């Protein structure tokens, strides 16, 4: 069985788009977590009772990576279903 070249190209572009979605979101999330963790370490060193607030501040940038992952899953399954792949 020979695969349709247009279908293979479409699937490849879907995967590139999904990879970009999660990659860019994860890079932004990593940079945000680094900045937030540095600020939180300084804040907790000064006022140790603020640990809970600082932990929340460090966890917030992680949502960017989660959003990127959700978008990648949607790209793969919704667009691929539209092409009739899955």
pTM of the model: 0.78
Instruction: Identify whether 74 is part of a domain.
Output: yes
Instruction: Round to whole Å and give the CA distance between 27 and 7.
Output: 30
pLDDT at res. 1 = 52
Instruction: Identify whether 5 is part of a domain.
Output: no
Domain that holds residue 74: 24-83
Q: Is the pLDDT at 86 greater than 70, yes or no?
A: no
Cβ–Cβ under 8 Å, residues 78 and 32: no
Instruction: Identify whether 13 is part of a domain.
Output: no
Query: Number of structural domains, the chain?
Result: 1
Instruction: Give the tens place of pLDDT for each residue, 4-60.
Output: 787 788 888 889 999 999 999 999 999 999 999 999 999 999 998 889 888 888 888
Instruction: Identify whether 9 is part of a domain.
Output: no
DSSP one-letter string for 1-50 = -PPPHHHHHHHHHHHHHHHHHHHHHHHHHHHHHHHHHHHHHHHHHH-GGG
Instruction: Give the tens place of pLDDT for each residue, 49-85.
Output: 889 888 888 888 889 999 999 999 999 888 878 777 7
Instruction: Round to whole Å and give the CA distance between 54 and 85.
Output: 45
Instruction: Identify whether 6 is part of a domain.
Output: no
């Amino acid at each position: 069985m020979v695969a349709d070249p247009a279908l293979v190209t479409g699937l490849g572009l879907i995967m590139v788009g999904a990879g970009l979605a999660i990659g860019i979101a994860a890079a932004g999330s990593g940079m945000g977590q680094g900045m937030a963790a540095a600020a939180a370490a300084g804040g907790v060193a000064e006022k140790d009772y603020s640990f809970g607030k600082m932990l929340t501040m460090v966890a917030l940038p992680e949502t960017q990576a989660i959003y990127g992952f959700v978008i990648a899953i949607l790209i793969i399954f919704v667009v691929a279903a539209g092409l009739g792949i899955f």
